[in-house]
Structure formats: structure tokens, C-alpha cells
Amino acid sequence: MTTTTTVAIVGAGLGGLALARVLHVQGIDSVVYERESSRTARGQGGMLDIQSGQRALREAGLIGRFHAIARREGQDLRLLDPDGTLLLQEDTPDDAPAVRPELDRADLRDLLLDSLPEGVARWGHAYRSGGDGVLQFADGSSATYDLLVGAESRVRALLTDARPEHTGQHAFELGIPDIDRTHPDLAAMVGRGSYWARGNGQSLTAQRNGDGRVRVYLSFHHTAEDWLAGWHAQFSTLIAACDGTVAARSISTLPVGLTWPRPPGRLPRRRRGVRTRDVRTHQCRRQAFRANTGTPVGTGRRAANARVLPAPLRGRARRTVLPDRHCGISSPA
């Protein structure tokens, strides 16, 4: 079976869903294809401190709902040496601004999913290959697209042959469920937010989640087997209290400086009757080019550095411009 969509997003993680929501707000239809069978098919990991991400949530029209469920107390921080010396303690007052509030990944994902129209997220669509305007899925189905966004790593192969390489860094995730009831002494030690110990290329991080679980992360780099030798006994006690769930994380990276050519493309159609933000500020006008003529509106370095849309795009959005610092998309003339 073949279906058609304008913007196809592969991957229903936070990035793919945030993009789908912003496109929806701007009147652009998209479909998100996800290999998992449902939103609850697997756990989504621990907490995120949302700082610059709040800008995306504002653009998505979700900042109010985000603040309603975010944990301000999750901003608390305790930093220690391996010998147990407390180096830094930050306790967040109840009336403190939400500069970097914490939120469970699962709760943030649900917030984004619930903000999308029915049918935007397509579950059980495992990406197999793509290109030339057609996506192929593992179940034999396919979908066409005008613009493809890879929000999971396997799509990257369409742009580069580079593959991630192991950094030598290893990480393991453990956890203590319902820590306030099962280990109140350790709960007091960890606090309401994050608890870090760093030293000698090794680290231990404990992070309190909204459901009462504390996730414990151990990280080391080419370290001897007894890597906690010399560390304070409180860290061993914390590890011993964890349940039997252990997840290994291999830390890999792409080559430093990796780039790929920007492929030519075209703008997706906006839904009829929905206008994107107009470019009306003085600075943006000075940066803009009249894309239908190539004549700069202003003069000077900023105007000279603006980029005119390719000719095939001019008839579709004649006044849309792409300055070096994006300041919005103007409505068609």
C-alpha cells in the first residue's frame, strides 16, 4: 500500500515530534513514521533539563502546558569529589524561575504526541530505505514525500557514508525504584534533583525522576575493573541499593568536522487559510532580499550576506527569504 504526504519525518522521538508540532502550528502537514508499535512500547529514559528547548516549546504553543508539569525542584544540584567532599550544592527556592526545569522524557513525549492531530504519528513503520521521494518500510509498505526529515540515525546514510565510532567511553544505567520509601537515607543524600560525583575520568550520576525512581548512571573511560577503588563508601552503597535492571550504553561519535552537501529542495505547501509569521521588523527587512528580483532591500554586510531563494521557489513564496540569522518566513505576495 502506498500513501502520499508532503513532509515525512522518520522517528517519533522528541526532535521529530517537536518538528511535527511546529509545522502543524505553521499550517504545514506532516507525518511521523516510528518503528515502535505504540507510544508505550518501551521506556523513554530519564529526565531532561529543558533550557534552550523552551524556545521550541514556545514556537510549538506548548510552553504553558510544559510549565504545568515540569519539576522546578529538579534544578537542584549536588556535586562531589570521589572522596565524598561536597563541592557544590544548589537548592532551588519554590518561587525560583524555571530556568532549567526537569521533565521526564516520557511526559514530554506524551505532551508532544497529544498536541498533534490524530493520525500524524504512524506506529509500526520501521524505516528500511529512502530516496527519490519514496520511503520503504520493513513491512513492505511505502510512502511518498516532498521533504524527508531524518529524526533517527539510520536516515543519515542518505547523506553520508560516515559511521559513528566508539569513543572508549562506557556507561551503565541502574535504578532505585520508589527511593523515598525503600531507602529514605539515600533519598536524602541524592536530594530532589541531580547528584554528581566526578574524578579521574569516571563519573557517577544519580537523577531523581517524577515517578519516584532514581536513575543511577556509571561512566568510565578505559578504566580498570575495580574503578570505584578509592571512592567514598557512600557511592558503593548507592549502587548496591539499585535493582537488577542494568542497561549498557556505548558512547559513540561521528568524525569531528563532518559535513555533507545541502541538497536542493522546495518549500512544502501551507494549508489554505493559514499564514506563517510575516517578516516585519526593521532589521529583518534590511537583511532581506526581494527573492523575485534579487534586489537587496537594504545595504551593508547583513544584506550582502542574505541568501536568495533558488528560482524554482520564487513563484511559490516570492517574498520568503533566508538571511544568515533567520527572522521568520513572510507570507506570499
Per the model's pLDDT, the better-predicted residue between 123 and 305 turns out to be 123
**Over 80: is that where the pLDDT of 174 sits?**
yes
CATH code of the domain containing 134: 3.50.50.60
Is the domain of 137 the same as that of 281? no
Would 328 be classed as within a structural domain?
Answer: yes
pLDDT number for residue 270: 58
Per the model's pLDDT, the better-predicted residue between 273 and 138 turns out to be 138
Per the model's pLDDT, the better-predicted residue between 227 and 213 turns out to be 213
- The span from the CA of 9 to the CA of 22, in Å, is 13
Would 272 be classed as within a structural domain?
Answer: no
pLDDT number for residue 92: 86
Q: How confident is the model at residue 288 (pLDDT cuts 50, 70, 90)?
A: very low
Task: Classify burial at 34, counting beta carbons within 10 Å of its beta carbon; exposed 0-12, middle 13-18, buried 19 or more.
Answer: buried
Would 90 be classed as within a structural domain?
Answer: no
Q: How confident is the model at residue 276 (pLDDT cuts 50, 70, 90)?
A: very low
pLDDT number for residue 286: 31
Per the model's pLDDT, the better-predicted residue between 131 and 268 turns out to be 131
Mean pLDDT of the chain: 78
pLDDT number for residue 333: 29
6-64 residue pLDDT tens: 899 999 999 999 999 999 999 999 999 999 999 988 877 778 888 888 899 999 999 99
233-267 residue pLDDT tens: 999 999 999 998 899 888 899 999 999 887 666 55
- Which of 125, 142, 158 lies at the terminal end of a domain, its last residue? 158
**How many other C-beta atoms are found inside a 10 Å radius of the C-beta of residue 168?**
12
pLDDT number for residue 273: 52
Is the domain of 152 the same as that of 286? no
Domain of 322, in residue numbers = 277-333
- The span from the CA of 127 to the CA of 136, in Å, is 6
- Which of 112, 139, 158 lies at the terminal end of a domain, its last residue? 158
Count how many domains the chain has: 2
Is the domain of 285 the same as that of 145? no
95-141 residue pLDDT tens: 877 788 888 889 999 999 999 999 999 999 999 999 889 999 999 99
Would 31 be classed as within a structural domain?
Answer: yes
**Over 60: is that where the pLDDT of 301 sits?**
no
**SS3 labels along 258-296:** CCCCCCCCCCCCCCCCCCCCCCCCHHHHHHCEECCCCEE
Is the domain of 148 the same as that of 294? no
Would 254 be classed as within a structural domain?
Answer: no
Q: For the whole model, what pTM was predicted?
A: 0.72
